[in-house]
Chain A
Amino acid sequence: MINFYEVVETNQMIEEENLDVRTITLGISLMDCIDSDLDRLNEKIYKKITTLAKDLVSTGEKIESEFGIPIVNKRISITPVALVGGSACKKPEDFVTIAETLDKAAKEVRVNFIGGYSAIVSKGMTKSDELLIRSIPMAMAKTERVCSSVNVGSTKTGIDMDAVRLCGEIVKETAEMTKDKDSIGCAKFVVLCNAPDDNPFMAGAFLGVTEGDAVINVGVSGPGVVKRAIEKCRGKGFQELCDTIKKTAFKVTRVGQLVAGEASKRLGIPFGIIDLSLAPTPAVGDSVAEILEEIGLERVGAPGTTAALAMLNDQVKKGGVMASSYVGGLSGAFIPVSEDQGMIDAVNAGSLCIEKLEAMTCVCSVGLDMIAIPGKTKATTISGIIADEMAIGMVNQKTTAVRVIPVVGKDVGDMAEFGGLLGYAPIMPVNEFDCSAFVNRKGRIPAPIHSFKN
């Protein structure tokens, strides 16, 4: 029998420490919508999404009130659109019509983001991959809820540097086309290496071709809960600290598993995975940076940050993995800047720079995330940043990502405002030495030696 203290502990986590289920993401395969006629393709996509996801939001809301746990986002991920639109789209504008259809469908079923306006080009680009990538700036400017991603490398294939070069230009163009809103288009576009097929988190969510027709993936969170739990470990050894993080991650993930099971049952859609991540929000007390500071750093970015993050990431996985039958997605600690008040404070205090963030991405679950940089940054420099981050992912056999926002008209010392969950960010300085001769080389970086495991 559950006792009073256990009930109080759970409710305190929810009310005071921002425990929530971050997202229920419904993955929908659009493979059966493929058509050579663009209008018919759009019609089929709209119909499939609005039919399958009809009850997603209302079911999520019902689970929220029955269990008393907030489910912050209800979202949709779809088959990479470059595959779906391949036979119907002859020019970038054709792909944009699909983005508009996705936006309309998202609004109809009341989800706040739909991810999968994507291309997987780890080794090379098809004609339709390239058309889709070239349509991204216009698609991001014309739509509100569509998220886009391009996977430009993997441990098995190496890095497609032609795609990396193109993505640098696309980031710049997207920034320019959404310059009236602090280049917010770039906040919905991410470049990935080793992108997982079942990631429920935006902006990198898409439903890979390895997946079934429809699937429920759930992302849990709870940086605030971990922070509060380890406050009790001040001055204690690593063993006690690690145990506390593991126990907390276990509890958080069990809630996610419960919600995922309920959602799957009620919607009649199979459960895929739990993504056990510490995903911060701009709210005070919902920050990964604050956890690292509680572990013993004056500010994130201080020496010791990478080690503390490596330990945190590992303990979150170890604790969470036993709480769920299927773990997948990105799973680990996220370190976005604009979405984490502690990170923003560290940048403002001069403690955190892009180079340190890059080092941190070697040991956490994603990459350079939601970082605002000067609008004058060259496309080749952005490609260089992307290439560095992709190399970390490729060599370390992990997912890495780049979501940088070159805010048009702003420079170091200014602030970019994105609003809502995307938060705000101080513009961070970028190393301005040139790398264009490197980026402009054609072809791809070969896969590393340790990828040959056959």
Chain B
Amino acid sequence: MKKCIITVVGKDSVGIIAKVCTYLAETNINILNISQTIVDGYFNMMAVADVENSKKELDIVAVELRDIGLQIGVNIHCQREEIFEKMHRL
């Protein structure tokens, strides 16, 4: 399975998760795990997603998610899981 980590950080507002999840569903990306907290009005979300059957190439997904983030005023990153695995696990 090819996994991605999607992070959303920014000022909280209505419908952030909805926007992100709608895009993921349309692109056929399955969310495996999702967690979200709000610290001092700041929205923090992390999702682990299965991108094996994604309709689009991953670099395109990363750019499109970033653009969705720009529209709603949050930072969205979508990165392959390996970069975190390699850095933090032996």
A-side residues, CB < 8 A to B, are 1-2, 4, 6-11, 61-62, 65-69, 251, 254-255, 257-258
Q: Which of A2, A11, A62, A255 has the most CB of B within 10 A?
A: A2
26 residue pairs A–B, Cβ–Cβ below 8 Å: A1-B33, A1-B48, A2-B48, A2-B88, A4-B35, A4-B46, A6-B87, A6-B88, A7-B7, A7-B84, A9-B88, A10-B83, A10-B84, A10-B87, A11-B7, A65-B58, A65-B59, A66-B62, A67-B79, A68-B77, A68-B79, A68-B83, A69-B83, A251-B88, A255-B87, A258-B83
Give min CB distance, B87 to chain A, whole Å. 5
Bound together, the chains give a CA A2 to CA B58 distance in angstroms of 20
Judge if B26 is at the interface, Cβ distance under 8 Å.
no
Bound together, the chains give a CA A226 to CA B51 distance in angstroms of 33
Task: Say which residue of B77, B80, B85, B89 sits within 8 Å of A11 (CB atoms).
Answer: B77
Q: Which residue of A lies closest to B33 (CB)?
A: A1
**Interfacial chain A residues near B89, Cβ < 8 Å:** 2
Give min CB distance, B4 to chain A, whole Å. 9
Q: Which residue of B lies closest to A257 (CB)?
A: B86
Judge if B63 is at the interface, Cβ distance under 8 Å.
yes
**Interfacial chain B residues near A62, Cβ < 8 Å:** 57, 59
Give min CB distance, B81 to chain A, whole Å. 7
Q: Which residue of A lies closest to B60 (CB)?
A: A65
User: Given A2-B5, A4-B35, A65–B63 Cβ distance below 8 Å?
Assistant: yes
Judge if B82 is at the interface, Cβ distance under 8 Å.
yes
Cβ A255 vs Cβ B86 within 8 A: yes
Q: Which residue of B lies closest to A251 (CB)?
A: B87
**Interfacial chain A residues near B88, Cβ < 8 Å:** 2, 6, 9-10, 251
Bound together, the chains give a CA A20 to CA B70 distance in angstroms of 23
Give min CB distance, B64 to chain A, whole Å. 11
Cβ A66 vs Cβ B87 within 8 A: no
Judge if B44 is at the interface, Cβ distance under 8 Å.
yes
Bound together, the chains give a CA A345 to CA B44 distance in angstroms of 38
Bound together, the chains give a CA A69 to CA B79 distance in angstroms of 9
Bound together, the chains give a CA A68 to CA B82 distance in angstroms of 11
Bound together, the chains give a CA A1 to CA B88 distance in angstroms of 10
B contact residues, total (Cβ < 8 Å): 25
Give min CB distance, B61 to chain A, whole Å. 9
Q: How many A-B residue pairs have CB under 8 A?
A: 61
Task: Say which residue of A7, A65, A255 sits within 8 Å of B46 (CB atoms).
Answer: A7
**Interfacial chain B residues near A258, Cβ < 8 Å:** 82-83, 86
Bound together, the chains give a CA A10 to CA B7 distance in angstroms of 12
Q: Is the contact region of chain A dominated by helix, strand, or loop, or is it mixed?
A: helix
User: Given A2-B88, A4-B44, A255–B83 Cβ distance below 8 Å?
Assistant: yes
B-side residues, CB < 8 A to A, are 5, 7, 33, 35, 44, 46, 48, 57-59, 62-63, 77-89
**Interfacial chain B residues near A61, Cβ < 8 Å:** 59
Cβ A67 vs Cβ B83 within 8 A: yes
Give min CB distance, B90 to chain A, whole Å. 9
Q: Which residue of A lies closest to B81 (CB)?
A: A2
Bound together, the chains give a CA A1 to CA B84 distance in angstroms of 10
**Interfacial chain A residues near B7, Cβ < 8 Å:** 7-8, 11
Give min CB distance, B83 to chain A, whole Å. 5
Q: Which of B78, B85, B86 has the most CB of A within 10 A?
A: B86
Bound together, the chains give a CA A66 to CA B85 distance in angstroms of 15
Give min CB distance, B53 to chain A, whole Å. 16
Give min CB distance, B32 to chain A, whole Å. 10
Bound together, the chains give a CA A257 to CA B88 distance in angstroms of 14
Give min CB distance, B49 to chain A, whole Å. 13
**Interfacial chain B residues near A255, Cβ < 8 Å:** 83, 86-87
Give min CB distance, A55 to chain B, whole Å. 14
Give min CB distance, B19 to chain A, whole Å. 20
Bound together, the chains give a CA A215 to CA B88 distance in angstroms of 28
Bound together, the chains give a CA A414 to CA B78 distance in angstroms of 46
Bound together, the chains give a CA A184 to CA B49 distance in angstroms of 49
Cβ B86 vs Cβ A66 within 8 A: no
Cβ B35 vs Cβ A6 within 8 A: no
Bound together, the chains give a CA A1 to CA B3 distance in angstroms of 11
Q: Which residue of B lies closest to A13 (CB)?
A: B87
**Interfacial chain A residues near B35, Cβ < 8 Å:** 4
16 A-B pairs besides A61-B59, A66-B58, A68-B83 with CB distance below 8 A are A2-B84, A4-B44, A8-B7, A10-B83, A10-B87, A11-B77, A62-B59, A65-B63, A66-B62, A66-B80, A67-B80, A68-B62, A68-B77, A69-B79, A251-B87, A254-B86
Give min CB distance, A74 to chain B, whole Å. 15
Q: Which residue of A lies closest to B79 (CB)?
A: A68
Bound together, the chains give a CA A65 to CA B7 distance in angstroms of 14
Give min CB distance, B22 to chain A, whole Å. 22
**Interfacial chain A residues near B46, Cβ < 8 Å:** 4, 7
